[in-house]
Amino acid sequence: MNVWKVWIDKFRTRRLGFTFAILATLSTGILIGSVVAHGVDGKEAKVDSSDAQPLQIPSPVNLSTTFTQIVKQVGSAVVNINTVSYPKNSNGRSAQGNLQGPDENGPDSEGQGEQGQGQGQGDNGMQDFFNHFFGFGGPQGPQGESPDGGERLALGSGFIVDPRGYIITNNHVVEKADKIWVKLSTDSVGDQGHIATVVGTDKDTDIAVLKINADHPLPTVKLGNSDGTQIGDWVLAIGSPFGLNQTVTAGIISSENRSLIGDGGIGAGEFQHFIQTDAAINPGNSGGPLVNMDGQVIGMNTAIYTQSAGNEGIGFAMPANTIANVYNQLIGPGHKVVRGSIGITFQAVTSSAVAHVYGFKNGVIISSVQPGFPADKAGLKPGDIITSIDGRPIKGGDDLINDIAGRKPGSTATLGYIHDGKHLTVTVTIADRAAMMAALSRGGAPSGNSNGPQQSGTSKLGMSVSNVPPEMASKAGITGGVLIRNIRPGSFADGLQSLAPGEVILQLNRQPVANVQQFQELASKLKSGDDVVFLVVDPQHASLGNTYVGGTLP
């Protein structure tokens, strides 16, 4: 032990020297390793490669597929669209330049179709989503804006449908643009393209028609019938995502007749029912064609649903049949779309409980009737159920909208409907939806306070209600009813997503509700398994009509 003690003492007194000795030994090892490694460097090794055979480039092999043939057939008619918007003065005019069209947003087509309650008026309802996700101007791809709020740049796609230079694209691609350039597939890289003018736009379907001048006939696409598409069909999307011209992606049709309202939270107009595809669609693809395996355009790429600011395999294209109908009106003398209306609002979606309580399988319950318009003149009332048009059964709200909107103002239609359980028919004259929407907007939205009498709880339904304050009832033009004060989380009422505090219940299972006492009496008779349907009105927006909300009591 003494020997170890002596050695340790010497190490402590001479540890500095030991440290230097160890470092010196390591450094010497590193140097020797470097020299040895250098001596075997592959660069200095000599290898006899006289037996290596040179690579030969083979003759081209034609591996043409259906995809290849379609791209060659359609690609030349797909265009790139660039727009610029200048900063506006206080009077709303551009600081420089003029819109290439009738007015800044194109011909006014706002509000031209039978109105489904809960759906957008005016703008197509997607614009808020477009502005949120893509910024100014919609899903148009890369954009630039100067730090001081100067001119804004945007881009999109389109396709030529007439050799004289008529082009179809999305309205959101060119909306608010002061100058529009269309670049053909044959234009050189540095060429900005051809100045385009706006022939007409339709916000309800997000469709725009442009015109460019060319000194020779231009290649065109072949339009297909979108009614013939099926889920699972192969499709190609062609466009300019992120400004990358003539980009082609492939996928399938993953769904049809997709209404985005409620399906993805994006919001949509009542005339927007899309083909859904998993072909990669990105900002800049907007306005480009969706093509089937026969080389026919069966849709126009319009929107994507994403949570990552990129393609997630869910894209939406406006069907070709809708495009053709809108295009044919936009190139007409008025350069706008005229849609029919009978002057009603209705609830877009109703539950099976509502249909059961009101005694119908297919049809549309009228929420409100606009005074002075065809439905009012024909004697239709809120609560009536339209079941057929000209003898053809109505499947639902979309079916009603498409049929009535497609008819010319001044024409007539025979409606089958149910009134107080009786099946009746009546002939109505179709009116202009634009006039109906203008009248509806002039009607205003009543307002009122939420102060009222003592609340009363209804535990079975999961809500507390009170009598409607007189001032609120007067402003909303309603009689009786009970005001929903609170809804208990997890309750039956909470499960009815269309029901909310601040609304007024006018009926319970078709029975009028005059006050809280009467409401409680009706509710007390309900039992598990019963269908429960409320007739509800929003007193802040009473002009939009009533809503039918229902479900089955657990």
- For the chain, give the number of residues: 554
**Helices (H), ranges, 205-363:** 320-330, 352-358
Q: Does the residue 59 lie in any domain? A: no
- Separation CA 145–CA 154 (nearest Å): 9
- Separation CA 142–CA 1 (nearest Å): 80
Cα separations (Å) of 179 from 186, 192, 205, 427? 21, 12, 22, 48
State the pLDDT at residue 460.
Answer: 80
Closest CA to 117 of 318, 305, 261, 322: 261
* DSSP count for the chain of H helices, then E strands: 12, 31
Do residues 359 and 475 both lie within one domain?
Answer: no
What SS3 state is found at 213?
Answer: coil
Q: Does the residue 62 lie in any domain? A: no
Do residues 466 and 419 both lie within one domain?
Answer: no
Catalytic status, residue 441: no
Mean pLDDT by 10 residues, the chain (554 residues): 51 53 56 51 73 92 86 94 78 40 30 40 40 37 48 89 96 91 89 92 93 94 94 94 88 86 45 88 90 96 74 86 94 91 78 78 84 89 91 86 88 93 92 77 40 52 86 87 84 82 91 89 87 90 86 86
Do residues 311 and 253 both lie within one domain?
Answer: yes
What letter does residue 95 receive in the DSSP assignment?
S
CATH (domain of 477)? 2.30.42.10
State the pLDDT at residue 452.
Answer: 38
Angle between the N-to-C axes of helices 2-13 and 15-39, in degrees from 0 to 180, rounded to the nearest 10: 70
Catalytic residue among 286, 367, 368, 466: 286
- Separation CA 75–CA 185 (nearest Å): 8
- Separation CA 135–CA 137 (nearest Å): 6
Rg (CA), the chain: 34
Do residues 401 and 475 both lie within one domain?
Answer: no
- Separation CA 479–CA 451 (nearest Å): 17
Do residues 198 and 245 both lie within one domain?
Answer: no
Do residues 436 and 468 both lie within one domain?
Answer: no
Catalytic residue among 123, 206, 398, 538: 206
Enclosing domain of residue 207: 70-211
Identify the sign of the CA torsion 501, 506, 511, 514: positive
Catalytic status, residue 206: yes
CATH (domain of 299)? 2.40.10.10
Q: Does the residue 433 lie in any domain? A: yes
State the pLDDT at residue 61.
Answer: 85
Do residues 231 and 295 both lie within one domain?
Answer: yes
Each as own residue / partner, the long-range contacts of residues 54-63 (CB below 8 Å, 24 or more positions apart, any chain) are: none
Catalytic status, residue 286: yes
369 neighbors 382 (Cβ within 8 angstroms): yes
- Separation CA 158–CA 180 (nearest Å): 12
Closest CA to 289 of 200, 196, 223: 223
Do residues 372 and 481 both lie within one domain?
Answer: no
Catalytic residue among 94, 157, 172, 226: 172
- Separation CA 89–CA 27 (nearest Å): 74
Exposed/middle/buried for 170, CB within 10 Å: 0-12, 13-18, 19+?
buried
Number of domains in the chain: 4
pTM score, whole prediction: 0.63
State the pLDDT at residue 457.
Answer: 52
